[in-house]
Structure 1
Amino acid sequence: MLVSQDNLKKLLEIYEMLGEEEDIINASNEFIKEGHILKLAARNASAMDRYLFLFNNMLLYCVPKFSLVGQKYTVRTRIGIDGMQVLETSNEEYPHTFQVSGKERTLELQARSEQEKEDWIKAFQETIAIFRQKNETFKSASKEVEEVSMAELGRRAPRWIRDNEVMIKEPFNALTRHRHHCRACGYVSNT
């Protein structure tokens, strides 16, 4: 993964290569890997040139666009990392194949070499594992907070959320907009 400033530069570069594709420049997107790959057609098993952009939360499956300037690729499919699986496949006619399966689509891909295939599979597996780990950590943390706050609600005074910890869009002042702390949970609201 790239450091945030390098990541932002890479996201801008990808944004331009994809003809200003929406949602590429986003603070939550982390660039992981990119490269040419062959896609095996389901009907006749012919191999077509494609390009992949792997991020921490999605895979962009792209088609090369023949243009002298600007956009180099068109996004054919976005596949979310959530629920994604990667399987090594074997095909006598087409060596170095693997399958990427997501909620949106399943792709059978062919790398140019065994090493390239292993690199792609490793990148996918690590990205999926990190995504699952973060998702599980978030779920367990939010569940713990919910359980504690519901069990403790009203039994003891809560920790009050500090004013500088709260993101409230409307400015407040002492005369017209006041901040109030909830006595049960400690959260702040504007009134």
Structure 2
Amino acid sequence: MVDHLANTEINSQRIATVESCFGASGQPLAIPGRVLLGEGILTKECRKKAKPRIFFLFNDILVYGSIVINRRKYSSQHIIPLDEVTLETLPDTLQMKNRWMIKTAKKSFVVSAASLTERKEWISHLEECIRHLLSKMGQQPPTEHAAPWIPDKATDICMRCTQTKFSTLTRRHHCRKCGFVVCGDCSRQRFLMPRLSPKPLRVCNLCYKQLVAAKKESEEQSKTAHSPLVGYEPSSGDDKDTESN
């Protein structure tokens, strides 16, 4: 079905419409073999509060953005390759129902659908596209994922020291490793995590210690793997055979 739609005029027109809705701020989406399979509005859990976002499912990517004028204008385009995606169904909360998590190595976040049926349909179509793409590329599902950020309103105190209370003057920060909401004193360190950013990112003190320890262990293992054999002494070049002839 997807292959049949790939080179059709209707598919090209649908993709062109999505491109025009994002305008100059969006990236071109039309490439050979790409098919737009569906679209819909999902609620995305953001740092401050949950917000509606438009999502477009293609056979190889997931695109989403902010809604300026529905079906006419969108902004803040994000493109996620489906071969990097893993899905996780989540339980309902008092604030949000029909939730699931979209996880990648660079970013993970929670979305919710308007109904249980809609969630099942989204997850079913996403999983089918992911399976087909991974099979086509000969890849295994990804195993590393970024931690989702816990929303600001989830806690009034630092989730590490559990002492500092947040206020207008005491800001909330997020650890880029674990996603916890932490105070400034508990997140003074920065650490380079190349899969997330080319620049060092804010991490909480506990994650910083774990990251430093893991880096040190990795460096020591690398040195051991490339070092000469332990206990081996190179020959001076002289034969010192003491056995009698």
Structure 2 length-normalised TM: 0.50
Quick check: 1:38 aligned with 2:60? no
- Larger CA deviation: 110-119 vs 4-13: 4-13
Please report how far the alpha carbon of residue 16 of structure 1 lies from its aligned counterpart in structure 2 after TM superposition. Answer: 1.1
Q: Secondary structure at the match of 1:23?
A: coil
Provide the rounded CA distance (Å) in 2 between the counterparts of 1:104 and 1:54. Answer: 19
The answer for the alignment partner of 2:117 in structure 1 is 115
* Residue type of the alignment partner of 2:44: K
Number of residue pairs the alignment of both structures matches: 133
Please report how far the alpha carbon of residue 10 of structure 1 lies from its aligned counterpart in structure 2 after TM superposition. Answer: 1.0
Q: Deviations over 1:49-108 (max 9, x none)?
A: 1010111221112101249xx951114421111221011111321110011112332120
Greater than 6 Å deviation, 4+ residue runs: none
The answer for the alignment partner of 2:105 in structure 1 is 103
Q: Does structure 2 retain, via aligned residues, the 8 Å contact 1:40–1:108? A: yes
Q: Does structure 1 retain, via aligned residues, the 8 Å contact 2:88–2:102? A: yes
Residue in structure 1 matching 2:12, options 4, 8, 11: 8
Unaligned runs of 5+ in 2: 140-245
Please report how far the alpha carbon of residue 122 of structure 1 lies from its aligned counterpart in structure 2 after TM superposition. Answer: 0.5
What aligned pairs does 1:135-150 form with structure 2 within 5 A after superposition? 135-136=137-138
Unaligned runs of 5+ in 1: 138-191
Please report how far the alpha carbon of residue 121 of structure 1 lies from its aligned counterpart in structure 2 after TM superposition. Answer: 0.4
The answer for the alignment partner of 1:84 in structure 2 is 85
Q: Does structure 2 retain, via aligned residues, the 8 Å contact 1:53–1:61? A: yes
Higher-RCO chain (CA-CA 8 Å, sequence separation at least 6): 1
Q: Secondary structure at the match of 2:13?
A: helix
Residue in structure 2 matching 1:61, options 47, 60, 64: 64
CA RMSD after TM alignment: 2.1
* Residue type of the alignment partner of 1:73: Y
The answer for the alignment partner of 1:153 in structure 2 is none
Provide the rounded CA distance (Å) in 2 between the counterparts of 1:22 and 1:48. Answer: 22
Structure 1 length-normalised TM: 0.63
The answer for the alignment partner of 1:131 in structure 2 is 133
Q: Does structure 2 retain, via aligned residues, the 8 Å contact 1:49–1:64? A: yes
Q: Secondary structure at the match of 1:19?
A: helix
Alpha-carbon distance change, 57 to 18 in structure 1, aligned in 2, over 3 angstroms: same
What aligned pairs does 1:8-27 form with structure 2 within 5 A after superposition? 8-20=12-24, 21-27=26-32
Q: Secondary structure at the match of 1:54?
A: strand
What is the aligned-residue identity percentage? 20
Q: Does structure 1 retain, via aligned residues, the 8 Å contact 2:42–2:55? A: yes
Provide the rounded CA distance (Å) in 1 between the counterparts of 2:76 and 2:63. Answer: 6
Provide the rounded CA distance (Å) in 1 between the counterparts of 2:92 and 2:116. Answer: 13
Q: Secondary structure at the match of 1:109?
A: strand
Alpha-carbon distance change, 104 to 78 in structure 1, aligned in 2, over 3 angstroms: farther
* Residue type of the alignment partner of 1:10: R
Q: Does structure 1 retain, via aligned residues, the 8 Å contact 2:22–2:77? A: no
Provide the rounded CA distance (Å) in 2 between the counterparts of 1:118 and 1:11. Answer: 24
